[in-house]
């Protein structure tokens, strides 16, 4: 079936603008993750959902970042009043089950590249 999809693929925002990034996980996947990948770095965890519940948001860098998954499927990462340091690739990943099996595979989307001018 289809993989994880993200939109938009590219986003240019002026500093101070709000942006919304969308993630469509693989159908039926319970777990959904957001990661931030700065240029030349590895992805860093932002937040995790199990179905519609946001179980961990410890990686969100500030209260300008907000994520939701209201129906346990599609998720949106919103960044308010964007700053230049928010420029990065935002990756979404999903996995089939939760809480069990540390080896469970996370499937990544292509990412949204955000550039804040």
Partner 1 sequence: GNSVTQMEGPVTLSEEAFLTINCTYTATGYPSLFWYVQYPGEGLQLLLKATKADDKGSNKGFEATYRKETTSFHLEKGSVQVSDSAVYFCALRRGNTGFQKLVFGTGTRLLVSP
Q: Write out the residues near partner 1 by the rule CB under 8 A.
A: 4, 31, 33, 35, 40-45, 48, 50, 55-56, 59, 91, 93, 95, 98-99, 102-111
Residue 21 CB, shortest distance to partner 1, in Å, is 14
Phi, psi for residue 84 in degrees, rounded to 5: -60, -35
Beta-carbon neighbour count of residue 97 at 10 Å? 12
Distance, in Å, from the CA atom of 61 to the CA atom of 48, rounded to the nearest integer, reads 14
User: By C-beta, is 33 or 65 nearer to partner 1?
Assistant: 33
Residue 90 CB, shortest distance to partner 1, in Å, is 11
Q: Which of 91, 78, 70, 76 is nearest to 4 (CA)?
A: 91
User: By C-beta, is 109 or 116 nearer to partner 1?
Assistant: 109
Residue 76 CB, shortest distance to partner 1, in Å, is 18
User: By C-beta, is 88 or 91 nearer to partner 1?
Assistant: 91
DSSP helix/strand/coil, 84: helix
The residue behind tokens 């499937």 is 107
User: By C-beta, is 72 or 80 nearer to partner 1?
Assistant: 72
**Cis amide linkage into residue 8, ω under 30° from 0:** yes
């Amino acid at each position: 079936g289809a993989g994880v999809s993200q939109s938009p693929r590219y986003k240019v925002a002026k500093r101070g603008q709000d942006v919304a990034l969308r993630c469509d996980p693989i159908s039926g996947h319970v777990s959904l993750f957001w990661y931030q990948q700065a240029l030349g770095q590895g992805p860093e965890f932002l937040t995790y959902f199990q179905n519609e519940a946001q179980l961990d948001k410890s990686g969100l860098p500030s209260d300008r970042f907000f994520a939701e998954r209201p129906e346990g499927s599609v998720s949106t990462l919103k960044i308010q009043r964007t700053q230049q340091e928010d420029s990065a690739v935002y990756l979404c990943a999903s996995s089939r089950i939760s809480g069990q099996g540390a080896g469970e595979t996370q499937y990544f989307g292509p990412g949204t590249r955000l550039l804040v001018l």
